[in-house]
Structure 1
Amino acid sequence: MTELLMSSPRTERRTVLEEIVVAEFKKALLMPDDEELPLDDSFFELGMTSLLLTMVKQRLEERLGRGISSTALFNQPTVDRLTDYLASDVLADIFDAN
């Protein structure tokens, strides 16, 4: 998945990352692909549990090929904030690369 991010134009990388994050949350919440996931709602407001968050964290780690802090999903409790965190901390090398 990091190859997809690297091959995307720099201006589109955050959008690609957000799509990956949204897809994992929708899968965990059993949402259909055509249903919109609010990006600014807390994960818990969306119906996530601690167990589901742990599963999403593991799937994101697998897809991104990077470790994610166990507290990241609790400290960045919306898709928008989590995407920002992933881009600036976890995948900084990709987002800083040309």
Structure 2
Amino acid sequence: MLNFFSLWGVGLSGIVFAGVCLVSQRGSLFGILLSLEVFTVGLYMMILGVWGSYWSMGGLCLIFLTFGVCEAALGLSVLVSLMRSNGNDYVSGFTSSNF
């Protein structure tokens, strides 16, 4: 029972921390992507804490982790593309005409 509450608490605090960072982040795209990754890891910890003891839900955790990795890879590719085209990763400098 302690394992459930500790994983759930860590996941919830990670989600809250990522939400605060995401709302307060106004500078770079890299910071926004990092806060989204913390949000994904926090959600994964909560799912693992709730359904980690059930063997039949192991596939759900792997599917969620796979989507999280795909999201990270897409975000990194967008970041690299914008860095090459603009020279910086500031969110305020992005317009739709740059793409």
Report the TM-score range of the alignment, normalised by the length of the smaller protein: 0.3 to 0.5
Higher helix share: 2
Q: TM-score, normalised by structure 2?
A: 0.35
Larger relative contact order (CA 8 Å, sep ≥ 6): 1
